[in-house]
Amino acid sequence: MTQQSESGPADRYDVIVVGGGPAGLSAALMLGRARRSVLVIDSGQPRNAPAAHIHGFLSRDGTPPDHLLEVGRQEVVGYGGEVTPGQVRSAANEGDQFAIELDTGHTVRARRLLVTTGIVDELPDIPGLASRWGRDVLHCPYCHGWEVRDEPIGVLATSPMSVHQALLFRQWTENLTLLLHTGPAPAHEEAEQLAARGIACVSGEVSRVEVTDEQLSGVRLRTGELVPLRALAVAPRAVPRAAVLETLGLASTPHPSGLGEHIATDSTGLTPEPGVWVAGNVTDPMANVLTAAASGATAAGAINADLIAEETRRAVQARRHGL
């Protein structure tokens, strides 16, 4: 991993970014260009690690996720930022700064805190499913749909969004099956929509994912029936990696989509805790890599503006008192 200094992080920064994914690195890049001292603490657990490539990112389509992050780290360091591996144990508000305790026992401090730790995708407990995640068990058609276009695709009903997900994936294939699994049958209007789009509905609980020659070949129902498929779409439950935020009293709340939890913020990523911002999937579980990176840049602009406002207030007070 790229680092600014072999001696480890210093003690105090303008901004500490917890999380070294696209959102965190994008924010650190913006802050470095704004001549802010910034430290990125990266646990090395990106959400999209199972995926082979990033898609839908203008000028970077098809880039391996780890390559994008390495380039990002180099760019951050090029503007004076620091990137260090590690886990954060806790964060504490000390009034005019935040104290961040690392798993090494070292404590670093910053005037502002940005958390971009992302989420954990809580997958359905079906044998064989987790090992195919990010390969041919998918969730986002914009990220992976092109690669399985015109193939037989199944959508596993796991949430209130499953019918919507099926109608969405229909854009990429005419051979689509909605697997009702343990969910309820579609309402009358939903059933009409599915029928009109030629989407088959299969009742019965899915017992396991079948793999042939290292490729998903279908799902097996409890009845023993095999439903042949090339890809399976699921809607995992989003669980924020919010331990550091919880130490500041910030709890996750249900996301409006019904897809899990998130940290609620304003449009810039500012949380109810003054001086603390979040960006990326930890606040928007539906964000792709490009959207997550953009949210990091937005948060960075807001943080820099907040610091400027504070510095200006102090300068005015000093001038008034002849200091």
pLDDT tens column, 269-306: 999 999 999 999 999 999 999 999 999 999 999 999 99
**159-197: burial string, b at 16+ Cβ within 10 Å, e else:** beebbebbbbbbebbebbbbbbbebeebeeebeebbeee
Distance CA 253, CA 287 (A): 17
Q: What are φ and ψ of residue 159, in 5° steps?
A: -155, 170
Q: What are φ and ψ of residue 115, in 5° steps?
A: -110, 120
> Residue 222 has what pLDDT?
96
pLDDT tens column, 130-169: 999 999 999 999 999 999 999 999 999 987 789 999 999 9
- Region 217-226 average pLDDT: 97
Q: What are φ and ψ of residue 299, in 5° steps?
A: -60, -40
6 pLDDT more than 60: no
> Residue 8 has what pLDDT?
61
Lowest-pLDDT choice from 6-10, 74-78, 272-276, 313-317: 6-10
Torsion region of 35: left, alpha or beta (phi above 0 gives left; psi -120 to 50 gives alpha) = left
Quote the tokens at residue 170.
């229909």
Helical H runs in 257-288?
Answer: none
Is the pTM of the predicted complex or chain greater than 0.75? yes
Strands (E), 87-225: 88-93, 98-102, 107-115, 119-122, 137-138, 153-156, 176-179, 200-202, 206-212, 215-221
pLDDT tens column, 169-199: 999 999 999 999 988 889 999 999 999 999 9
Chain centroid to CA 195: how far? 33
> Residue 184 has what pLDDT?
83
pLDDT tens column, 23-39: 999 999 999 999 999 99
